[in-house]
Chain A
Amino acid sequence: MIVLLTRRIFGLVLTLIAVSLLIFAVMVLLPGDPAAITLGTSATSETLAALRHDMGLDQPLIVRYGQWLAGALTGDLGTSYTYGVPVAGLIAERLVVTLPLALLAILLSVVVAVPLGVAAAARRGGVFDIIATLFSQMGIAVPGFWVGLLLVLVFATSLGWMPAGGFPGWESGFWPAAKSLVLPAAALALPQAAVLTRVTRSAVLDTLHEDFARTAIAKGLSRSRVLWGHVVPNALVPVLTILGLQFTFLVAGAVLIENVFTLPGLGRLAYQALSQRDVIVLQDVVLFFAGLVIVVNFLVDLSYLVIDPRLRAGGAR
């Protein structure tokens, strides 16, 4: 188990370094000079050179990569070209929006999807099955940002119950801040819940046909005991896998939703940094996203070991 873990963590670090090199290479290939953008259409070559020097853009690529990597390892992510503040602080400021948003969306989608999926599987062709099928088809077909626009139209513009967008900051109190996350989280959760309902339904159906489930039924256990005691826990492995995968989509998909609701999250930070060619911020945010994906996948793998004893045994061998 320890050996397995060490090996996985070592691989994780190597992946991160490889990813950082790839990110840096892509940034170099991006057209557009951040200094020229800052100075606008009045720039002279003299001021441009002065600013490029200030920004460290006149240094060789290998030096810039080295500085970035060394900085990142010591927690210094550099200074944003456009905002002029440390990137680490910027990312932290944005995480307090994006993380609660992502968690709320996951929570919403799990709360809706898992019971619906299980109910659909329990009575195949029943009412819940029909509802689940309709719900998941609609949720997958309808784009999240459009749902977001609809939610704004109904709950903000017409009813005035919720703010139309923006984020007042947690310092303005828990409820005002949390309130501004409800609609975007719902918009984010819908497509996810749709996929998750489908996966839960088929995972439960598959597990119901496995030997242990049949044995349990044959032994005379009640249907709900079999379902909730034996089948659902076993069906959780594929559900978790999808959740892990979806988490990445969630963070990426948040870019659109954050734009619709003008939430100052990480996705919007990345988007703005891209258009301003704030390369340092962009590098760091993309590295952060990549790291997040790698770590979440790692945690999902670990959770299999916790859930499924068979995998645990296999791992120790």
Chain B
Amino acid sequence: MTKFSRPSLGDVARRLAYGAAVSAGLLLMGLTQAEAAKTTLNLGMSVEPTGLDPTIAAPVAIGQVTWQNIFEGLVAIDQNGKIVPQLAKSWEISPDGLTYTFKLQTGVKFHDGEAFDSAAAKFTLDRARGADSVNPQKRFFATIASIDTPDAETLVLHLSSPTGSLLYWLGWPSSVMVGPKSSANNKTTPVGTGPFKFSSWTKGDHVDLVKNPDYWNKSVDLRLEKVTFRFISDPQAEAAALKAGDLDAFPEFAAPELMSSFEGDARLTTKIGNTELKVVAGMNNTRKPFDDKRVRQALMMALDRKTIIEGAWSGFGTAIGSHYTPNDPGYKDLNGTLPYDAAKAKALLAEAGYPNGFTFTIKTPQMAYAPRSAQVMQAMFADIGVTMNIEPTEFPAKWVQDVFTGRNYDMTIVAHAEPMDIDIYSRDPYYFNYKNPAFNELMKKIQLTADPAEQNKLYGEAQSILAEDVPSLFLFVMPKLGVWDKKLKGLWENEPIPSNVLTNVSWED
């Protein structure tokens, strides 16, 4: 006797037929879905932008949503960090470097129908350099003395002094072209000339963009109809959203320690790229004992950068010897200038008059990389008899007040996000309090030439000065940890400029 009744033949047949029908249905659903390639994208970001106008506020998240998607510039910076034409199709620079003549694209319209022409370009640049400008990079436009618009397609910039970086700067998110009629509202309803139009913003959760059917650049094959940028700040939640399929991509995943959890996932792939984020431990160069170059060099030699990268960022990241990344033109590998050597560091410290070391405080922002790096550094400094106290300092508010504007600190640690910002060591005032006339002279020379080869040579010299002089302890370049669906193509793996360019993104059939 068995407890289970034996099913009759009819029963079995019925069940089989039912099962077959259901599986056929499911298969059909699957097929139709696969046939029509996906045209939507859900992309995750850790930080929600504060407003959507990159020309009036600095946070990089603004550009990461809008740059190249909604807004475009006279020129753009491509995946390899190269300057390419965009709304200006060509340009000529006068031999003295003082006149830039741009030929603009014709037939370009903003999303609200307003025409983009030389008047709009002049309006944009005047807005950025004007007396009331709150453009975070206002200094980019400082040498523009006057702007002429001989006709609708020609824009002429007259400079007060040669500015070799001007073209590069014009490719930045803060230099994008805005419409005279719409610019005032760009913070909440951005209007640009780009391939995507702003659709809606559910604050605290997501921004929606839709395809711009009237996009001027017909050589671009836009595949995405709708893009949703979702903002998730908690690393665990980011990972969960990816694994649950709520998100298709997270181009800048914030938790390196969770990267290995995506291994073996059938749907997702991980990509390790470069960024422009230089993690450096800046020192107050006028404060004792950091005013002594030997002390700064000793501290640099006390640090084993490989271990720091391991401890702070799970081994992802590239050690640097100066304030420059391997992405940047004219990069020199200067990791060997002051290599890790605790014994030498100790000797140098004794020579500088600190045989028994000294004690100081590092002001550490709460971003994960900072306290983790600081803890590893603390142990390494202890090896050469230097005691470092760690003082958590809320970023951005308290840090900007104490360190950046107040310059009241010994040492701090922060990732500098601006591409090609080696010139910060020549800015005065700037939080390092670093003053080196030879270095400043180099920075000036770079602006006096527009020749890339000459610029690269000068950038090389500048890197060497910093590597030798150590105004800050150069630690590592942050990696770009990308996680996305294996079928997704066209996302940038590297990040020569903070962005999520979606122009060439598509789903594989």
Using a CB–CB distance below 8 Å, which chain A residues touch chain B?
Answer: 30-33, 36-44, 46-47, 50-51, 54, 82-85, 90, 93-94, 149, 152-153, 156-157, 160, 163-167, 169, 259-265, 268-269, 272, 275-278
**For the side of the interface on B, what is the size category?**
35 or more
Residue of A32, A40, A47, A265 most packed against chain B (CB within 10 A): A40
Instruction: Select A269's contact among B57, B188, B204, B398, beta carbons within 8 Å.
Output: B204
Smallest beta-carbon distance A66→chain B, Å = 25
> A39: which B residues are within 8 A, CB to CB?
57-58, 134, 136
Q: Decide if B401 touches A164 in the complex (CB within 8 Å).
A: no
- Lowest 5 CB-CB distances: which A-B pairs, in order? A32-B397, A40-B58, A264-B204, A82-B50, A84-B187
Per-residue contact bits, chain B 56-74, to A (CB 8 Å; 1 contact, 0 not): 0111000000000000000
Per-residue contact bits, chain B 20-50, to A (CB 8 Å; 1 contact, 0 not): 0000000000000000000000000000101
Q: Decide if A156 touches B240 in the complex (CB within 8 Å).
A: yes
Q: Decide if A152 touches B240 in the complex (CB within 8 Å).
A: yes
Q: Decide if B236 touches A260 in the complex (CB within 8 Å).
A: yes
> B204: which A residues are within 8 A, CB to CB?
93-94, 264-265, 268-269, 272
Q: Decide if B244 touches A44 in the complex (CB within 8 Å).
A: no
Given that A33-B401, A36-B400 are known contacts, is A164 also in contact with B188, CB under 8 Å in the complex?
Answer: no
Instruction: Select B397's contact among A37, A41, A44, A47, beta carbons within 8 Å.
Output: A37
Smallest beta-carbon distance A64→chain B, Å = 18
> B424: which A residues are within 8 A, CB to CB?
41
Smallest beta-carbon distance B99→chain A, Å = 26
Smallest beta-carbon distance A217→chain B, Å = 49
> A276: which B residues are within 8 A, CB to CB?
50, 396
Q: Decide if B241 touches A165 in the complex (CB within 8 Å).
A: yes
Smallest beta-carbon distance B177→chain A, Å = 20
Closest-by-CB residue of A relative to B186 is: A84
Closest-by-CB residue of A relative to B137 is: A42
> A30: which B residues are within 8 A, CB to CB?
397
Q: B-side binding surface: helix, strand, loop or mixed?
A: loop
The answer to the question of B245 belonging to the interface, with a C-beta cut-off of 8 Å to chain A, is yes
Q: Decide if B236 touches A31 in the complex (CB within 8 Å).
A: no
Bound Cα distance from A39 to B231, whole angstroms: 21
> B398: which A residues are within 8 A, CB to CB?
31-32
> A33: which B residues are within 8 A, CB to CB?
397, 400-401, 405
Given that A31-B397, A32-B396, A164-B237 are known contacts, is A157 also in contact with B404, CB under 8 Å in the complex?
Answer: no
The answer to the question of B243 belonging to the interface, with a C-beta cut-off of 8 Å to chain A, is yes
Instruction: Select A165's contact among B188, B203, B240, B394, beta carbons within 8 Å.
Output: B240
Instruction: Select B58's contact among A41, A85, A264, A277, beta carbons within 8 Å.
Output: A41
Given that A50-B132, A167-B205, A259-B233 are known contacts, is A84 also in contact with B243, CB under 8 Å in the complex?
Answer: no
> B221: which A residues are within 8 A, CB to CB?
none
> A50: which B residues are within 8 A, CB to CB?
131-134
> A260: which B residues are within 8 A, CB to CB?
234, 236-237
Closest-by-CB residue of B relative to A259 is: B234
Instruction: Select A47's contact among B136, B187, B205, B230, beta carbons within 8 Å.
Output: B136
Q: Decide if A47 touches B240 in the complex (CB within 8 Å).
A: no
> B243: which A residues are within 8 A, CB to CB?
157, 164
- 18 A/B residue pairs, CB under 8 Å, sorted by A: A30-B397, A31-B394, A36-B401, A37-B400, A38-B50, A38-B57, A43-B136, A51-B134, A54-B134, A83-B51, A84-B187, A160-B245, A163-B246, A164-B237, A166-B232, A262-B234, A269-B203, A275-B394
Given that A33-B401, A37-B396 are known contacts, is A169 also in contact with B202, CB under 8 Å in the complex?
Answer: yes
Given that A47-B135, A82-B51, A276-B50 are known contacts, is A262 also in contact with B396, CB under 8 Å in the complex?
Answer: no
Smallest beta-carbon distance B497→chain A, Å = 15
Q: Decide if B59 touches A40 in the complex (CB within 8 Å).
A: yes
Smallest beta-carbon distance A114→chain B, Å = 32
Bound Cα distance from A124 to B374, whole angstroms: 56
Bound Cα distance from A82 to B397, whole angstroms: 14
Per-residue contact bits, chain B 389-403, to A (CB 8 Å; 1 contact, 0 not): 000001011101110
7 more A-B residue pairs beyond the given contacts A32-B401, A36-B405, with a C-beta to C-beta distance below 8 A: A46-B138, A93-B203, A153-B240, A160-B245, A164-B240, A263-B205, A268-B204
Q: Decide if A152 touches B237 in the complex (CB within 8 Å).
A: yes
Instruction: Select B133's contact among A47, A84, A269, beta carbons within 8 Å.
Output: A47
> A83: which B residues are within 8 A, CB to CB?
50-51, 187-188, 203
Smallest beta-carbon distance A166→chain B, Å = 6
Q: Decide if A42 touches B139 in the complex (CB within 8 Å).
A: yes
Smallest beta-carbon distance A167→chain B, Å = 5
Closest-by-CB residue of A relative to B398 is: A31
> B188: which A residues are within 8 A, CB to CB?
83-85
The answer to the question of B416 belonging to the interface, with a C-beta cut-off of 8 Å to chain A, is yes
Q: Decide if A157 touches B244 in the complex (CB within 8 Å).
A: yes
Bound Cα distance from A87 to B243, whole angstroms: 35
Residue of B50, B132, B245 most packed against chain A (CB within 10 A): B50
Bound Cα distance from A79 to B57, whole angstroms: 16
Given that A40-B59, A41-B404, A83-B50 are known contacts, is A277 also in contact with B236, CB under 8 Å in the complex?
Answer: no
Closest-by-CB residue of B relative to A149 is: B236
Closest-by-CB residue of B relative to A49 is: B134
> A268: which B residues are within 8 A, CB to CB?
204
Q: Decide if A264 touches B139 in the complex (CB within 8 Å).
A: no
Smallest beta-carbon distance B48→chain A, Å = 7
The answer to the question of B206 belonging to the interface, with a C-beta cut-off of 8 Å to chain A, is yes
Smallest beta-carbon distance A135→chain B, Å = 26
Instruction: Select B237's contact among A262, A264, A277, beta carbons within 8 Å.
Output: A262
Bound Cα distance from A259 to B134, whole angstroms: 32
Q: Decide if B246 touches A165 in the complex (CB within 8 Å).
A: yes
Given that A33-B401, A166-B241, A167-B205 are known contacts, is A42 also in contact with B234, CB under 8 Å in the complex?
Answer: no
Instruction: Select A272's contact among B48, B132, B133, B230, beta carbons within 8 Å.
Output: B48
> B231: which A residues are within 8 A, CB to CB?
262
